C-alpha cells in the first residue's frame, strides 16, 4: 500500500462529509496510523498529527450562510462613541476618523506557537483575547495621548502597537494573554469570558510597572471607592493612572431590559474606554450605541500574522490594525456577561467618575453594581 499524507486523507474523508467534525478527525487519524505508522514511530506521529489537527480546526471556516442579518447604522439618529456624538451623514468623516483611530485586533494565523502548545492561530477561540487587546490598547492611547487623538504614526504610537504584536515577547501579545489566562484555569485554545480576560490584563500589568498604570477589576458587583484609591495611591501621595474594569452579569440566560439605559450611559461617560462582551461564544469590543443597539468592532476576521522579525519596529506596517467597519448588536442578542471599563488619569477624574456612578449606573432599580465609599467593618 502506498503511503498516504494527512492532507490526502483529509480530502478523501472530510470533503464528502462537508464538516470538520471530531468524528471525521478521529477516522482520519485511525486510517493514517493504519496505513503509515510503525508502532515504534507512533508517539512522534501522534505529536505531528496533533499539531496538524489544531491548526486545521482553527483555520477551518464552515459556511452556513448568514445566521443573523446585521443591523445597519441609521442616518439622522445620534450615535454615541465613548463620550462623542455623531449623526450621519453629516458627521460621516469625523465618525469614521474616530473609529479608525482605535487599534483593531482580529484573528491571526501563522504566528509563533504559544509556549507549550501547537497553536499558531487563534481562530475559533481567541476573539475575547483580541477584544481585551483592543480595549487595553485604547487605554494606552488615552494614557499617552487623549480621547481626541487620531491615528497618526509616531514613536509613542509605534511603541504601543509593538506591545500587541503576535510575539511571545510582546507585553500584551496573544501569547502572553493566553498564558496569563492559564493562571485563571483557562487552557490555551479555550474561550475566555470577560472576567478572565480582565484578570489576564491585570496580571500582565502587574509585571510592567514602567507603564505607570494600574488595572483594578471590581469583583462580585461590589465596588469600594476607598479600596480602589488605596491601590492607586500606595505612597499616599502620587496617583497612578487607573484602568477600572467592572465585570457584570445582566441576567441569567438573556439581558434584563432594566439595565439597558445604564449600559448605554456607560458609553456616554468621558472616562469610558468601552466594554467587552458579545453573543454567546462570540466576543466583540463595544465602543458605543445607537438606539438600543451596541456599536462594536469585530475580531472575527482572520489575517496573516505580522511577525516582528524583519520589520522596522519604529515604523510598523499598521494598515491591517485599523478599520472603519463597525456593526450593531441588538440588545436582545447580547450575552448577559459583559465587562465595562473606564480610564482615570488623575484622582480628580476618578472622583468625578464615582460621582457619575452614584448618580446613574450604580443607582436605582437598574443599578449595574453596588458601590460604597468605605468598606463596611466586619
Residues carrying an active site annotation: 127, 298, 300
Is-contact 70 293, C-beta < 8 A?
no
Here the contacts of 261-264 (C-beta below 8 Å, separation 24 or greater) are 261/366, 262/360, 262/361, 262/366, 262/367, 262/368, 263/294, 263/338, 263/340, 263/368, 264/80, 264/289, 264/292
Cα Rg of the chain (Å, integer):
23
Of 21, 77, 64, 70, the C-alpha closest to 279 is 70
How many C-alpha atoms does 158 have within 13 Å on its Cβ side? 11
* Cell triple for 226: 476607598
Of 209, 203, 297, 281, the C-alpha closest to 245 is 203
State how far Cα 346 lies from the chain centre.
25
φ, ψ of residue 164 in degrees (nearest 5): -110, 0
**Distance between CA atoms of 81 and 328, rounded to whole angstroms?**
12
Query: What is the DSSP code (8-state) at residue 278?
Result: E
Is-contact 137 130, C-beta < 8 A?
no
φ, ψ of residue 250 in degrees (nearest 5): -95, 10
Of 99, 98, 170, 100, the C-alpha closest to 133 is 170
Query: What is the DSSP code (8-state) at residue 311?
Result: S
**Distance between CA atoms of 54 and 119, rounded to whole angstroms?**
6
State how far Cα 52 lies from the chain centre.
26
φ, ψ of residue 145 in degrees (nearest 5): -125, -110
Residue with cell 469600594: 224
Parallel, antiparallel or unpaired: strands 108-109 and 303-304? parallel
* Cell triple for 279: 453573543
Amino acid at each position: 500500500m502506498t503511503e498516504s499524507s494527512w492532507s490526502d486523507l483529509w480530502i478523501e474523508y472530510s470533503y464528502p462529509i462537508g464538516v470538520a467534525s471530531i468524528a471525521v478527525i478521529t477516522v482520519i487519524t485511525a486510517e493514517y496510523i493504519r496505513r503509515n505508522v510503525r508502532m515504534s514511530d507512533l508517539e512522534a506521529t501522534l505529536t505531528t498529527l496533533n499539531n496538524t489537527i489544531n491548526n486545521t480546526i482553527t483555520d477551518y471556516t464552515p459556511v452556513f450562510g448568514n445566521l443573523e442579518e446585521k443591523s445597519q447604522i441609521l442616518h439622522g439618529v445620534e450615535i454615541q462613541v465613548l463620550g462623542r456624538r455623531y449623526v450621519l451623514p453629516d458627521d460621516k468623516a469625523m465618525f469614521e476618523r474616530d473609529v479608525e483611530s482605535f487599534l483593531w485586533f482580529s484573528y491571526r494565523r501563522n504566528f509563533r506557537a504559544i509556549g507549550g502548545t501547537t497553536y499558531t492561530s487563534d481562530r475559533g477561540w481567541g476573539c475575547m483575547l483580541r477584544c481585551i487587546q483592543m480595549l487595553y490598547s485604547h487605554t494606552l492611547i488615552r494614557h499617552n495621548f487623549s480621547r481626541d487623538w487620531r491615528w497618526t504614526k509616531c514613536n509613542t504610537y509605534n511603541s504601543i502597537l509593538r506591545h500587541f504584536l503576535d510575539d511571545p515577547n510582546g507585553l500584551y501579545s496573544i501569547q502572553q494573554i493566553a498564558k496569563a489566562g492559564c493562571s485563571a484555569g483557562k487552557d490555551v485554545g479555550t474561550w475566555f469570558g470577560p472576567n478572565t480576560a480582565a484578570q489576564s490584563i491585570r496580571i500582565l500589568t502587574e509585571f510592567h510597572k514602567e507603564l505607570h498604570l494600574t488595572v483594578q477589576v471590581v469583583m462580585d458587583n461590589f465596588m469600594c471607592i476607598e479600596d480602589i484609591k488605596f491601590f492607586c495611591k500606595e505612597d499616599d501621595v502620587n496617583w497612578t493612572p487607573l484602568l477600572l474594569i467592572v465585570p457584570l452579569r445582566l441576567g441569567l440566560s438573556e439581558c434584563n431590559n432594566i439595565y439597558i439605559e445604564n449600559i448605554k450611559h456607560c458609553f456616554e461617560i468621558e472616562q469610558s474606554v468601552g466594554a467587552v462582551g458579545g453573543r454567546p461564544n462570540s466576543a466583540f469590543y463595544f465602543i458605543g450605541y445607537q438606539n438600543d443597539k451596541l456599536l462594536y468592532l469585530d475580531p472575527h476576521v482572520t489575517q496573516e500574522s505580522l511577525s516582528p522579525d524583519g520589520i522596522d519596529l519604529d515604523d510598523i506596517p499598521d494598515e491591517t490594525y485599523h478599520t472603519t467597519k463597525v456593526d450593531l448588536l441588538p440588545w436582545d442578542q447580547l450575552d448577559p456577561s459583559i465587562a465595562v471599563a473606564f480610564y482615570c488619569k488623575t484622582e480628580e477624574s476618578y472622583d468625578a467618575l464615582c460621582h457619575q456612578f452614584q448618580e446613574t449606573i450604580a443607582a436605582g432599580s437598574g443599578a449595574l453594581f453596588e458601590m460604597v465609599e468605605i468598606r463596611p467593618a466586619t
